[in-house]
Chains A and B, each alone.
Chain A
């Protein structure tokens, strides 16, 4: 079980909706409906750019009831290894892409008495679909959306229409910021909090919630770590008896795949834990960038998540 089957899709619309975010609409190339999904799901988009293959996760932001098309929002990352730049600069209406089936690692809790959603910037995308799932239901919810300025507030008008009365907008440009402590210290029992956005933003919400006494089971977050680029390094795959170079602008997982060795994965973002690989030998430092392994596990150095993590070592041997 690795990438699974992919679906061929055609870009039916592409629009710059903020200075940084491009909004894509995708339909199946064969005209059939797309697979049903739940709000919070993402798809891996496979981009074939010449000699390189990019696989990036993007949250589905379209209504789960509408399976004629999927919509995603892609933020141009400053330090992109190329995936977001490819989507922004090269992908045009009519182009074909491959996507994997949706996976939900950020689902709404079905027994929550209330949903409290907190979005920072591009982190709004999974909530767009979740709001559709909650539309017309009986469980109360609030969506707090913090963004630089009105021109950066992607999808705000759609939210105003679909989730009127539930959405609270905060613009840095107005010097309005979410009062995390005020918000999290004053919620009814049974509330679940969901946060998606930049690393620091997520950390702030989690820390504040914990300090306010929230149970870990009621705190949900999603962040796809953009795999940081790093120095090139060499890796040896023990079972396949291969030694290969991981270039600076490729992930360890991409390099292993390029060598024809399969590693199971779901998110490619350091979250799901599926690509966890045993480290047989490492004479240097493992650079853990994932959000899956515990600090204790990271310190042990026996496992690595090759989708985002790297090594600074002369000799790294993996159980692959």
Chain B
């Protein structure tokens, strides 16, 4: 990512947020076809094309500095957005190594990690941080390792312990979530955590996904895309803050839908962690306004058709009930009925 950071962006209040033309073109559209239904759409998390959001293990884009500041604001108000149960300490260090190691390897112009045995030196230039610490000794960091590392990474991070043939949500940093709460879900099994998702249980999506993830290999991380929509470019759509963002949904009209409504795509990565044998689930949120999306003609047609034909249970679950029709109406003018090419590329 060569584009400059945009440190003045905001995800609340005046919502100063936009995507550069380059950011629009690399947006991870989750719709390979003109209609959408769940699937176990896991694929190997191998490097994607140059410049794409999957070029590197962990993507750093133009919103990095602003998103890290937004996270700090959320945590200042609600410290329980970060939690880790005591037995997750080795997994915390595994996560720190994954995040810092990936950033330093893939973005050497911004990050640096020097390791001499257990003495590690971390430099984060965009955030102006310089920290020497002892790997494995939490007392040498200003915060717990997972807290410290995920304040310097975009997206949410959930760490699942593996035992008794299940994955248990037992640590995490969750401030950019689509209406779910770590504080509520901590300690849950994989299927309990996903309990509210409609249709997918009947389709045995979670039986298969769990079996797959229990066998996740150290050298073979996987990824998938998920999506919903959000009114205003608000990262923190948490149940805790529902009164702040829920009412926004009533403000959408066919006239303002293009600017107000954002497609919210999660690039979800899953890694087996080496020392703890835990699994970390990275949920990276990308926001794009419907108007920005419609600058790509194929995507305008595609999203129009997906929304128009979306299963009613998914419309409800994704919280689109109040404004889906307004978005469809806004996009109608951009859909001349011509076919779309298969796949998600802009052309």
Contact A102 B218, beta carbon cutoff 8 Å: yes
What 9 pairs across the A-B complex have the smallest Cβ distances? A36-B274, A110-B87, A101-B219, A101-B218, A38-B277, A217-B164, A104-B277, A107-B277, A4-B219
* B88 neighbours in A (Cβ, 8 Å): 110
B192-217 interface with A by 8 A CB criterion = 211, 215, 217
The complex places the Cα of A5 from the Cα of B215 at a distance, in Å, of 15
> Is B162 interfacial (CB-CB < 8 Å)?
yes
Most chain B Cβ neighbours within 10 Å, of A41, A111, A217, A266: A111
* B217 neighbours in A (Cβ, 8 Å): 1, 4, 101, 103, 266
B85-114 interface with A by 8 A CB criterion = 87-88, 90, 94, 97
* A217 neighbours in B (Cβ, 8 Å): 164
* A4 neighbours in B (Cβ, 8 Å): 217, 219-220
Contact sample, A vs B, 25 pairs, CB 8 Å cutoff: A1-B215, A1-B217, A1-B220, A5-B219, A35-B218, A35-B219, A35-B274, A36-B94, A36-B275, A37-B218, A37-B274, A37-B275, A38-B90, A38-B274, A38-B276, A40-B277, A100-B219, A103-B217, A104-B277, A109-B163, A111-B161, A217-B164, A266-B215, A266-B217, A273-B211
Contact A1 B162, beta carbon cutoff 8 Å: no
The complex places the Cα of A100 from the Cα of B220 at a distance, in Å, of 11
* Residues 151-175 of chain B, each 1 if its beta carbon lies under 8 Å from chain A, else 0: 0000000000111100000000000
The complex places the Cα of A272 from the Cα of B217 at a distance, in Å, of 12
The complex places the Cα of A110 from the Cα of B171 at a distance, in Å, of 13
* A274 neighbours in B (Cβ, 8 Å): 215
Most chain A Cβ neighbours within 10 Å, of B44, B94, B161, B277: B277
* B162 neighbours in A (Cβ, 8 Å): 107
* Residues 263-287 of chain B, each 1 if its beta carbon lies under 8 Å from chain A, else 0: 0000000000011110000000000
Least CB distance from A42 to B in Å reads 12
5 extra A-B contacts, CB within 8 A, seeds A5-B219, A102-B274, A110-B88: A100-B219, A110-B163, A110-B276, A111-B163, A266-B217
> Is A270 interfacial (CB-CB < 8 Å)?
no
> How many residue pairs, one in A and one in B, have C-beta atoms under 8 Å apart?
55
Least CB distance from A291 to B in Å reads 14
Least CB distance from B274 to A in Å reads 4
The complex places the Cα of A4 from the Cα of B219 at a distance, in Å, of 7
> Is A197 interfacial (CB-CB < 8 Å)?
no
The complex places the Cα of A282 from the Cα of B218 at a distance, in Å, of 36
Interface bracket on B: 20 to 34
The complex places the Cα of A274 from the Cα of B164 at a distance, in Å, of 17
* A273 neighbours in B (Cβ, 8 Å): 211, 215
Least CB distance from B163 to A in Å reads 5
Least CB distance from B91 to A in Å reads 9
Q: Which B residue sits closest to A274, measured CB to CB? A: B215
B interface list, Cβ under 8 A from A: 44, 87-88, 90, 94, 97, 161-164, 211, 215, 217-220, 274-277
* Residues 101-143 of chain A, each 1 if its beta carbon lies under 8 Å from chain B, else 0: 1111001011100000000000000000000000000000000
The complex places the Cα of A318 from the Cα of B9 at a distance, in Å, of 57
> Is A64 interfacial (CB-CB < 8 Å)?
yes
* B211 neighbours in A (Cβ, 8 Å): 273
Contact B215 A107, beta carbon cutoff 8 Å: no
The complex places the Cα of A41 from the Cα of B272 at a distance, in Å, of 13
Most chain B Cβ neighbours within 10 Å, of A1, A37, A107, A273: A1
Least CB distance from B172 to A in Å reads 16
Least CB distance from B313 to A in Å reads 31
Most chain B Cβ neighbours within 10 Å, of A4, A36, A40: A36
Most chain A Cβ neighbours within 10 Å, of B161, B220, B274, B276: B274
* Residues 27-68 of chain A, each 1 if its beta carbon lies under 8 Å from chain B, else 0: 000000001111011000000000000000000000010000
The complex places the Cα of A201 from the Cα of B162 at a distance, in Å, of 26
The complex places the Cα of A36 from the Cα of B94 at a distance, in Å, of 9
The complex places the Cα of A1 from the Cα of B222 at a distance, in Å, of 10
Q: Which B residue sits closest to A139, measured CB to CB? A: B87
Least CB distance from A128 to B in Å reads 16
The complex places the Cα of A35 from the Cα of B274 at a distance, in Å, of 7
Partner of B275, one of A38, A109, A266: A38
* A36 neighbours in B (Cβ, 8 Å): 94, 97, 274-275
* A103 neighbours in B (Cβ, 8 Å): 217-218
* Residues 7-36 of chain A, each 1 if its beta carbon lies under 8 Å from chain B, else 0: 000000000000000000000000000011
The complex places the Cα of A74 from the Cα of B277 at a distance, in Å, of 24
The complex places the Cα of A266 from the Cα of B219 at a distance, in Å, of 12
* A35 neighbours in B (Cβ, 8 Å): 218-219, 274
* Residues 257-272 of chain A, each 1 if its beta carbon lies under 8 Å from chain B, else 0: 0000000001000001
Contact B218 A64, beta carbon cutoff 8 Å: no
The complex places the Cα of A217 from the Cα of B162 at a distance, in Å, of 12
Most chain B Cβ neighbours within 10 Å, of A41, A104, A273: A104
The complex places the Cα of A36 from the Cα of B277 at a distance, in Å, of 10
The complex places the Cα of A100 from the Cα of B274 at a distance, in Å, of 14
Least CB distance from A292 to B in Å reads 11
* A101 neighbours in B (Cβ, 8 Å): 217-219
Least CB distance from B19 to A in Å reads 33
The complex places the Cα of A194 from the Cα of B279 at a distance, in Å, of 22
The complex places the Cα of A104 from the Cα of B90 at a distance, in Å, of 15
Least CB distance from A94 to B in Å reads 26
* A5 neighbours in B (Cβ, 8 Å): 219
The complex places the Cα of A44 from the Cα of B248 at a distance, in Å, of 55
Contact B161 A110, beta carbon cutoff 8 Å: yes
* B94 neighbours in A (Cβ, 8 Å): 36
Q: Which A residue sits closest to B165, measured CB to CB? A: A217
Q: Which B residue sits closest to A106, measured CB to CB? A: B277
